[in-house]
Amino acid sequence: MHPVCIQIGDFKIHWFGVMMALGFLAGLLNWTWLGRRENRGFNACSDLLLWIMISGILGARAAYVLSDLPSFLAAPLTVFRIDQGGLIYYGGFVGAAVALVIYARRHGENVWSVFDFVITAVPLAHALGRIGCFLNGCCYGALYDGALAVRFPEGSLPWWHHVREQLITRYDASSLPVHPAQLYAVAANLVIYAVLVLVYRRRPGAGVTAALYVVLYAPTRFVLEFLRGDQRIALGVPLDAAQIMSLVSFLIGAVLLALRLRAAGPRAAAAES
């Protein structure tokens, strides 16, 4: 586990940036594969990727900066250092969703159909991004001394956190053992990805796949938050901001899924008759 992938002199390429780029590439390959069945060529998928990449990163970074605004006001240039981590998933999701609505309107496509197509790649890209988090040391887990526990090296984010909490000293070579929370997220996202692709290929109706993603991811994120050891956004209640957002997302997703399934029912019956 080391945040730097390549270093030449003072020039560094961080693993977080590498894995984020691989996540976007994996999403493009996924869309190209699925798009063969619906006349979405590589150029159309590349166009989609550009919209998602820009809006998703801006939304995710904006949410992260707002969550720790005093620190960024003290060092404004760090706002642009996304290569070192610092993205909030739900912010990126909202940013990308807004961009997709605009994209669908501009291209005269059904908004729900575009969401269904795009959402299949989200958990795959997210899984690769979480590997980047693991290598970077961010989004680390809570203290845990079980069979799956991991230790992060000296100088890593969890190491510094444990030093500040006086759990270890500056002379310790690694952090205390913690949950590999990032790898839990990797496994969960890969399962969600497999489910979404299977459902999408069955053509369940516009919006069903997108709503299903929210229904599957929100409770997963809610549970994984209990295993996180990094600083969370507190709201003065037992649950953190991500968990509150997960609960709201799940309720919205469940309602949308029910509505989209109901809307798909008559069309499916008409197609069979």
Query: Domain residues of the chain, as ranges?
Result: 4-142+179-264
For residue 60, the model assigns a pLDDT of 85
The predicted structure's pLDDT at residue 82: 67
Which residues sit opposite 240 in a β-bridge?
Answer: 234
Average pLDDT, the chain: 88
User: Average pLDDT in the 110-136 region?
Assistant: 93
What is residue 162's predicted lDDT score, i.e. its pLDDT? 96
Side-chain-side CA neighbours of residue 201 (13 Å): 11
The arithmetic mean of pLDDT across residues 27-35, rounded, is 93
Q: Could you tell me the pLDDT band of residue 227, with boundaries at 50, 70 and 90?
A: very high
pLDDT above 80: residue 257 = yes
The residue that leads in pLDDT, 9 or 175, is: 175
69 vs 118, more confident: 118
Q: What is the pLDDT of residue 83?
A: 59
Q: pLDDT per residue over 159-174, tens digit each?
A: 999 999 999 999 999 9
* Distant-in-sequence, close-in-space partners of 209: CB < 8 Å, separation ≥ 6: 115, 116, 119, 120, 196, 199, 200
- Which own/partner contact pairs does 260-265 have at CB distance under 8 Å and 24+ positions apart? 260/112, 260/205, 260/206, 260/207, 260/208, 260/210, 260/211, 261/204, 261/205, 261/208, 263/205, 263/206, 263/207, 264/204, 264/205, 264/206, 264/207, 264/208, 265/205
Q: Which amino acid is at 197?
A: V
pLDDT at 269: 44
Q: Which residue has the higher pLDDT, 269 or 254?
A: 254
Please state the pTM of the whole predicted model: 0.85
CB-based contacts of 24, cutoff 8 Å, min separation 6: 49, 52, 53, 125
Provide mean pLDDT across the span 223-236: 85
User: 10 Å Cβ neighbour count for 105?
Assistant: 11
Which of 1-15, 58-72, 127-141, 186-200 is modeled with the greatest confidence?
Answer: 186-200
